Structure formats: C-alpha cells, structure tokens
Structure 1
Amino acid sequence: MTDLDRYASTIAFPRELGRVVDGLELARREWRAGHARHAERGIRFPSRQALGRILRELGTALFPLRLGPPELTAENENRWVEATLESTLSQLAAQIALELRIARPAIDSVEEGERADRIVGDFAASLPAIRRLLDEDIQAGYANDPAARSVDEVLLSYPSVAAVIHHRLAHRLHKLGAELVARVIAEVAHAETGIDIHPGARIGRGFFLDHGTGVVIGETAIVGDRVRLYQGVTLGGEPSVTGAARAAGEAFVRRHPEIGDDVVIFAGAVLLGPITIGARTRIGGNVWLRRDVPPDHVVEVPEAIIAPAHS
C-alpha cells in the first residue's frame, strides 16, 4: 500500500474533511519553503481563462465578417474592430503586467504598466502583418486540400487554422518578451485543437497543417515557406543537445529541426534534433529521422510486406 492509499484509507468522508484541508495546507507550505520566489506575496499569475477570451476576441478583430457577430457589415466593421481592440488589448496588457511582476517582483507599478503598454503597443502594430500572413496560410489550406470548397470553409471549420492563428499571435508576443503569456496561449490552442506548437517556433509563409491532430513543433524549430505537415508529425528536440549547451554555458542552441521551403512531411513522421531538411524534400509517413536530408530528396520507410495469413 502506498502512502497515498494509506492516508486515504484513514479518512471518513465528510466527517474528517478538516484533515484533508490541513494536509493540503501542509503540502502548500512545503512547496513554498522550497520555492521562496513564488511564496505568498500576493502574486497573481496570468489567467488561462482570460487569455482564452482575449484570443477569441483578437480572432474576431482579425476576421470580423467571418468570426465576429452576425450583425456586422462592411459598413460598421471598422467601428466594431476599434472598440473590440480597445477593450481586448487593455485586458492583454493587464495579463502581461502580471507576468512582468512574476519575473521582477520588485518592479514598481508605474514601470510595470509602461513596459506592458509598450509590449502591447508593438503587438497591436503587428496585427495587420499577422492578418496578411494568416491570409496566406488559409489560402495554402484551400490550395492543398481537395476537400475544401472555399477559403471561408478553411477559416471557419479547420482546427489547424485555429492553431495557426493562435501561434502567429503567440509567437509575436514571445518575441516581444511576454513569454509566459505566449506559452499559455499556445496551450489554449493545444487543448482546443490537439496541435502543440511552441510559441518560440519560427514558421514561414503559407503554412498548412493537413488535419493536424497530434502535430508537435518544438521551441527552436524553424519552418520555411509553403511547408505542409500532416497529422501526427513531430518536429522534436534532442535533450542531450540542451544538456551539452547548458554545460558549455550557452544561452541558446537550436535543438529542433529546420525545415526548408516547399517541404511536405506525411502523417506520423518523427524528426528529432537540430537536423536540416532541404527544400522541396518529401518525408514519408511514419519515418523516424535524425539526420540531415539534402534538397529535392524523398525519404520513405520500406514498403509494407503483404502476404497471405497462415491458416
């Protein structure tokens, strides 16, 4: 019997609930004793629920006539976008301020607010460029999926497009220094779509995830233009690379794959470590790859053997 089983067997619910409360208090105290930096000092953390709402509102501001309320028209969308951004960006600044307070507990409220406002201002200025990138991503989805009947269908119904919208926004925040907020946004997308893209990953233009479920793209991955990935693809890291870099005192090292332009990677392929895949290469389904591939190559596993079953 484990300690957990032994402890649980001594509790008569609900008469002994006080013992549970006391036990939880003791667990918290033990944690805080070993993690004094985040001990009880009134510190609040960015809210996953709030950031989920913020991301939905930003999506409607980017695509108002498709993701916004039904009463919107081309005549009133500008006023609605302005009002939406004014409210949403203010809420985003408040979440970023919480992150800044965690990183620097001694920061005063004036400096905290100014830094959060600068990050949000730079982020807001990037939104038109992000919208244009997303237009190319959506067009790539329409061009590469024979089942798609329109770009509107791709935007409205493809979970992979929702994941890419989240990533484009999260990546910009990550670059601006709001790394915790960006990571929470990425995990919101992961929970909603089953697609896990670290906000640090650099992804080029015209990116398309065909189906996309189970795709994993790591923090230092670099993805070129017009790349297409199918479901279950992993662009994973090599832990030994990270350990060696830390031992050498390096602040940053690429530990995930770099994918060239116009590469296609089919379902279930796993690419690990800081390898480089040349432009226009095709990686077959279920390939396990840990070495570089030159441009214009095809990588496949041997064809399955089909034989009659033994009676």
Structure 2
Amino acid sequence: MDFKGRNNNDELKSEIKNIVDLIIADYDNGRDVDQMDVFNQPDRDAVKDIVIKLLRIIYPGYSRDKIYKSYNDSNRIAIVIEDVIYNMQKQIAIAFHHSPDYANASDETLDCGARCITHEFFKQLPKIREYVDTDLQACYDGDPAAYSKGEIILSYPGLLATTINRIAHELYLLKVPLIPRMMTEYAHSRTGIDIHPGATIGKYLMIDHGTGIVIGETSIIGEHVKIYQGVTIGGLSTRGGQSLKGVKRHPTIEDNVTIYAGASILGGETVIGEGSVIGANAFITESVPAGSRISMQRCR
C-alpha cells in the first residue's frame, strides 16, 4: 500500500467519503445484520438500569440512591418502583415487535399488553424475594468463609446471578420477548455465570464461586442444590438447531444434589437423583439413581 501523498486535505475527505459510501451501500443487501430499525429494539442500557433498580427493590438496604433523596424508606422505594414500572412498560412494548403474537398489533394494544404484564410481574416480586431469601440462606449456611449475609449480598457473584435469573424467569413465564435474555446476559457479563431465564430453579440454590457455570433453558433444578464453578447443565447435542425448540434438552437435578467443579451433565432425559453427589470433572449423559456418588477415577 502506497502511503505517499495522503496528507492532501481534499484527497483525505474524498477517501473518507468513499469509505462511508462503501459501508452505507453494504446495508442494502437485505441481510439480518443490515436492518436499521433501532426504535423497535429494546435498549440494552435501559434494561440494565431496570435490573439495577430491581436489585435495589429486592435488597432495599444495600444500595444508595444517587438521584432520589428521601429520609422515608417507604417513599424512597416507592419512587424507584414507579420508575421501574414506567420504564419496564416502555421496553416491553418495544420488545413485543419481536413476538408473532403482536405482529399486527396497534401501538395502543402494545402499550396495553406491556402495562398488564408489567403489573403482573410486580405482583410476583414478593415471591421472587421469598426465593432470593432462601438462596441467601443457602449461601450463608453452605460457605464457612461467609462472615455475614451482608457480605454475600454485596460481593458474591453466585447470589447476584441467581437473583437476576429469578427476575428474568418471571418475565420469561409471562412470555416477554428478548428482555429476559438480555437480563441474564447482563448477569453473565458481570459474573461469568450463564443461566438461561427459562431454567426452572427451586428454592435454596447455592452457586459457590460460580465462574463458568452454564445452565440451559429447559433445565429443572430442585431445592437445596449446590453447584460449584465450571459446571455445565446442558444439552447433549444442538445439531438439530431450531428443530429442537420447545424440546426438553437439558437435565433434571433433583433435591439436595451437590455438583462439584467442572462436571458436565447433559441431555434432556438425564435425571440426577435426590441426594446425589457429582464429583469434579465428571461427564454424565445418563440418569443416576438417588443417593449416587459419581467420581472420576484416577488413571495409573
């Protein structure tokens, strides 16, 4: 490439214009990556802000408001709740453009549907907080390195990931497009823990350390389950692609199961029986009965 003569201002402007024209023309190919309807896409920053404010609502004593000032705790939380209701309705209405159920709906219908779903979601917040409280208790009971529950709320990535997942799961059950996954991917980016919002998770889940954990969409996890870092609860194969949509592809983990670091449990028909212990780095594609102890044998 010849770099001589590139300091001429007119030539520089002309070259930049050619580059811009080249890229703009590339948008005319009709591909999925070419669409430019930005106003029909949920705003990632807005969804992130909703998540952060919902965490304030769930844990009201563990964050300081930078904007709202009130010495009355009820008023302080009420302002945050109203703010989230308004912005969640707005984002859900936009997300409905990605739902076949609302393909030809008017703006009034979209707004009405978003309002109803938002209100229904907020009615579920006491239940979400009930489940989150059990997760917090499981983390405290299961980790001798935890000196207080406040320490867990403020610093443990596992609790953060499960809390956001419980928020997203309720929206998933309400058939909100896109937003639940955006929420859990925000948690994924913060913690390294990837839990699909469709996963069904019982009370008292403890995620210890957490980095690298993957829990798939159709997973079913019982109560009092403990999962260490690097665990995959995933599909046996995804070669079928979209033809597998709606099929149970991920395992069922029954109550009181412990899964140690690096274990992979795969397949929609795989059931890990109650009270089982799955050792580190185990690779499991078949069901195991209740009370099993699975471990990798050292080669000699």
For residues 15-62 of structure 1, give each alpha carbon's deviation from its aligned partner in whole angstroms, at most 9, with x where no partner exists: 5232332232233221xx2449x8455642111111111111111111
Partner of 1:284: 279
Correspondences of 1:167-186 after superposition (within 5 Å): 167-186=165-184
- Aligned with 1:124 (options 122, 125, 149): 122
Correspondences of 1:265-284 after superposition (within 5 Å): 265-274=259-268, 275-284=270-279
Partner of 1:263: 257
Is 2:104 the counterpart of 1:106? yes
Correspondences of 1:199-210 after superposition (within 5 Å): 199-210=197-208
Partner of 2:85: 89
Structure 2 residue matching 1:64: 3-state secondary structure? coil
Deviation at residue 241 of structure 1 after TM alignment: 7.9
Distance in 1, Cα, partners of 2:43 & 2:207: 28
For residues 173-196 of structure 1, give each alpha carbon's deviation from its aligned partner in whole angstroms, at most 9, with x where no partner exists: 011011310000011110111110
TM-score for both structures, normalised by structure 2: 0.89
Change (3 A) 1:189 1:151: same
Contact kept, 8 Å, 1:241 with 1:255, in 2: the verdict is: no
Contact kept, 8 Å, 2:265 with 2:284, in 1: the verdict is: yes
User: How many residues are treated as equivalent by the alignment?
Assistant: 289
For residues 234-270 of structure 1, give each alpha carbon's deviation from its aligned partner in whole angstroms, at most 9, with x where no partner exists: 0111335855x93xxx862100011000000000001
Identity value in percent:
34
Structure 2 residue matching 1:239: 3-state secondary structure? coil
- Aligned with 1:299 (options 288, 294, 299): 294
Deviation at residue 151 of structure 1 after TM alignment: 1.1
Partner of 2:55: 59
| AA at the equivalent of 2:273 | G
Structure 1 residue matching 2:207: 3-state secondary structure? strand
Structure 1 residue matching 2:178: 3-state secondary structure? helix
Is 2:43 the counterpart of 1:47? yes
Partner of 1:226: 224
For residues 136-175 of structure 1, give each alpha carbon's deviation from its aligned partner in whole angstroms, at most 9, with x where no partner exists: 0001000000100111111111011111111000000011
Q: Which runs of 5+ in 2 are unaligned?
A: none
Contact kept, 8 Å, 1:61 with 1:68, in 2: the verdict is: no
For residues 73-101 of structure 1, give each alpha carbon's deviation from its aligned partner in whole angstroms, at most 9, with x where no partner exists: 99722211111100111101111011112
TM-score for both structures, normalised by structure 1: 0.86
Distance in 2, Cα, partners of 1:99 & 1:254: 25
Deviation at residue 63 of structure 1 after TM alignment: 1.1
Structure 2 residue matching 1:209: 3-state secondary structure? strand
| AA at the equivalent of 2:259 | I
Q: Which runs of 5+ in 1 are unaligned?
A: 1-5, 306-311
Partner of 2:159: 161
Distance in 1, Cα, partners of 2:28 & 2:88: 31
